[in-house]
Structure 1
Amino acid sequence: MAEEVIVAGWMDYDPKDRDRMLEHLVVLGHLTRQEEPGCLDYAMTADPGSEQRIRVYERWASEQALDEHFTTQHIKDFRAAVAGLTRVGVSLRAYTVASSRAMR
């Protein structure tokens, strides 16, 4: 079985652009979860402590599923739609999950 991959971190946008980016991310998240069986979770949310930060959390069934995500039409459409928005910072990391356990 392939090891799961988690992508986590943040992206900062010019405050005038953050809400527009979030609107596009809602559409992207819906399409990603609906159309990509390798996507186990996909959430981009506004950070309540910052007017520019978006928190990122993605969970993928495998590295291959994540790689395939970047070739989809909805990613291409998303990138074209947000090309004019100003990102001012980013910190994203991909983590390979060796094991996991349920929390109580």
Structure 2
Amino acid sequence: MYRNGHAGQSIVLLSGLGTAAPVLDFAPLIRELGDFNVTVVEGFGYGYSDLSASERTNKKHSTELHEALGKLGLARPYVLAGHSIAGFYMLDYTNR
């Protein structure tokens, strides 16, 4: 997980399938969003995150995202921006 620490509207970036290093891939976008509080969530098996042996379902992804964002204490409302398959995780998260 990465946070730029800026004040302003919170934006949470979620990477797509096969993105080896989400923080690096999103680096240009993070620079462009300099006035916002940007958080990049690296799901299990991506970037510097731990690997997970549990089943990788939409429900599991959205539950883990909810837990991670809860621990961060991000001010609501925040914007979820999902790339590729993360769009499905994001939709599942918002529907719960």
TM-score over 0.5 for the pair? no
Structure with more of its chain in strand, by fraction: 1
TM-score norm. by structure 1 comes to 0.31
TM-score, length basis structure 2: 0.33
RCO comparison, higher one (Cα < 8 Å, 6+): 1
